[in-house]
Amino acid sequence: MTTNLKLTQNEPASLDVDAVVVGVLPGPALAPGAAGVDQALGGRLVEALQAVGATGKPGEVHKLPTLGALPASVIVAVGLGDDPSAETLRRAAGAAVRALAGTAKAALALPASDADSASAVATGALLGNYAFARYRTGEQPETVEELLLAAPADAEGRVAEDTAIAEAVTLVRDLVNTPPSHLSPEDLADVADRVAKESGLEIEILDERALVDGGYGGIAGVGQGSVNPPRLVRLAYSHPEADKNVVFVGKGITFDTGGISIKPAEGMDWMKSDMGGAGAVLGALQAVAALKPKVNVIGYLAIAENMPSGSAQRPSDVITIYGGKTVEVLNTDAEGRLVMADAIVRSAEDSPHLLVDVATLTGAALVALGVRLTGVMANDDDVRAKIVAAAEAVGEPSWGMPLPEELRKGFDSPVADIANIPSERWGGMLAAGVFLKEFVPDGVRWAHLDIAGPAFNKGEPYGYIPKGGTGAATRTLVRLAREVADGNL
């Protein structure tokens, strides 16, 4: 991350910056933090806001020239609504910073009078200040080079943590946005290896031969049609005082054509995002290593490229998942659950206190919940409720969903222990969760996060969410690790 965010206790109106960001409440009225800017303008800031039609609606952005009244040449006024929550502050800061793309230096005079509000503003600003330009040779999208946040000095520790988490989210966004021509399973495993070395994580990488020899039939089967062979990556963070293990499992399909059961051409281009779950797990491990919570965290990246070819997996093939359970593959486009099954079974060897898997698993999730909500399923009602609450707390909207027992019968197979798709199409997101539940180790509390909607934003940017890869679930996983460390989950 190139953003340099620092705290300042100086009056933002006096800072030598290019722009100052202030908050606007309905009326319009000025939010806390804007008083100094208003004073520098002779108390006429509200009048200026009225003139440009500002209403204080959340996310609304207006730019005003200062005409030399401040060292800054521009004021960016962003709406906060009636009673700004932490998420409102995050989104407002993100929207304001995006509006300043290309600015060298900006000050944030948003409400940040305590550590919590300062953390929200910092997070939104850091996540909003994102652009992916790795493969552009012409004009580049730009970000703000330096941000100064007016906040109390005792917020510095929290903001440092926010920066570490934002860097992890940026890693995930970059990976999701990287084209499959530059992110094969081996490439993703190499990135994980680099992150592990830089962060002090343990790492184990199984190549295609080790996967076959080890009995990982799900990952090996999905990957057998591609010239880019599959990988299973295990990352581990250990704390010397920890007595609990949390395991995260991420789906890492670096590109998903659907295999022999090929997808329609329309929309296939964004299947580069089908590794978003593995990306979130990798990002979470990087952040956990920086934050050092008192819990052991293990992450699995189940990585393959799903391609049709003469060696590809065929509908009606039977594969053996790690641990011995057999699966009849009726649809090769239901491949994510196969690679996840291997890693979920393997997680038993880590004696997890909590097991959470994350995947861009089903198109049905978008049908049910739209493009911004994560579906959360679990084998424990309390776990599901706490995960939804944790996700909401960090600003990743989620919704608890059931795992109806009656859906299991649809997976019955005449030739194997289970089929990979049910006999009926209805409730596809829930059915996928029911399938995964079959592979969860006995007695382990488990949750499944379907991030098919929020992992990739095909629409316009909003708040601190960019177009393209979003880094969805990364912050939720970090929060869950900390909740376990604190004894709350």
pLDDT given at position 2: 54
Q: What is the mean pLDDT of residues 301-313?
A: 98
Measured at the alpha carbon of residue 246, what is the angle toward residues 116 and 128, in degrees to the nearest 5? 40
CA distances from 46 to 42, 115, 245, 303 (A): 11, 28, 53, 54
Please give the Cα distance from 442 to 345 (Å, whole number).
Answer: 10
Q: What are phi and psi of 358, to 5 degrees?
A: -130, 130
Give one DSSP letter per residue of 164-212, joined into a string: HHHHHHHHHHHHHHS-GGG--HHHHHHHHHHHHHHHT-EEEEE-HHHHH
CA-closest candidate to residue 454, choices 434, 475, 433: 475
Q: What is the pLDDT of residues 196-233, one digit of tens each?
A: 999 999 999 999 999 999 999 999 999 999 999 999 99
Task: Report residue 138's pLDDT band, with 50, 70 and 90 as the boundaries.
Answer: confident
**Residue 110 CB neighbour total at 10 angstroms:** 29
Task: Report residue 50's pLDDT band, with 50, 70 and 90 as the boundaries.
Answer: very high
Of the residues 263, 325, 445, 467, which is catalytic? 263
430, containing H or E segment? helix 428-437
Are 117 and 162 a contacting pair, CB within 8 Å?
no
Task: Report residue 141's pLDDT band, with 50, 70 and 90 as the boundaries.
Answer: low
Please give the Cα distance from 7 to 28 (Å, whole number).
Answer: 27
Is the backbone peptide bond immediately before 28 cis, with ω within 30 degrees of 0?
Answer: yes
Q: Which two tokens stand for residue 447?
A: 């949750």
pLDDT at position 309 over 90: yes
Q: Report the b/e string of 309-345 with b at 16+ CB within 10 A.
A: eeebbeeebebbbbbebebbbbebbbbbbbbbbbbbb
Q: What are phi and psi of 450, to 5 degrees?
A: -95, 110
Query: 444 in helix, strand or coil?
Result: coil
pLDDT given at position 323: 97
Q: What is the mean pLDDT of residues 290-298?
A: 98
pLDDT given at position 461: 96
pLDDT given at position 59: 87
Q: What is the pLDDT of residues 462-481, one digit of tens each?
A: 999 999 999 999 999 999 99
Q: What is the dihedral of CA 366, 370, 372, 373, to 10 degrees?
A: -80
Q: What is the pLDDT of residues 116-132, one digit of tens each?
A: 999 999 999 999 999 99
Q: Which two tokens stand for residue 271?
A: 């299947």
Task: Report residue 3's pLDDT band, with 50, 70 and 90 as the boundaries.
Answer: low
Q: Is residue 98 flagged as an active site residue?
A: no
Q: What is the pLDDT of residues 58-111, one digit of tens each?
A: 989 999 999 999 999 999 999 999 999 999 999 999 999 999 998 999 999 999
Classify residue 361 as left (phi > 0), alpha (psi -120 to 50) or beta: alpha
Task: Report residue 151's pLDDT band, with 50, 70 and 90 as the boundaries.
Answer: very high
Residue 265 burial (CB < 10 Å; 0-12/13-18/19+)?
exposed
Task: Report residue 142's pLDDT band, with 50, 70 and 90 as the boundaries.
Answer: confident
Of the residues 158, 337, 346, 475, which is catalytic? 337
pLDDT given at position 133: 87
Q: Which two tokens stand for residue 70?
A: 């401040």
Query: 247 in helix, strand or coil?
Result: strand
pLDDT at position 176 over 60: yes
Are 346 and 300 a contacting pair, CB within 8 Å?
yes
Please give the Cα distance from 488 to 363 (Å, whole number).
Answer: 32
- Indicate whether this model's pTM tops 0.75: yes
Q: What is the mean pLDDT of residues 14-39?
A: 97
Q: Is residue 292 flagged as an active site residue?
A: no
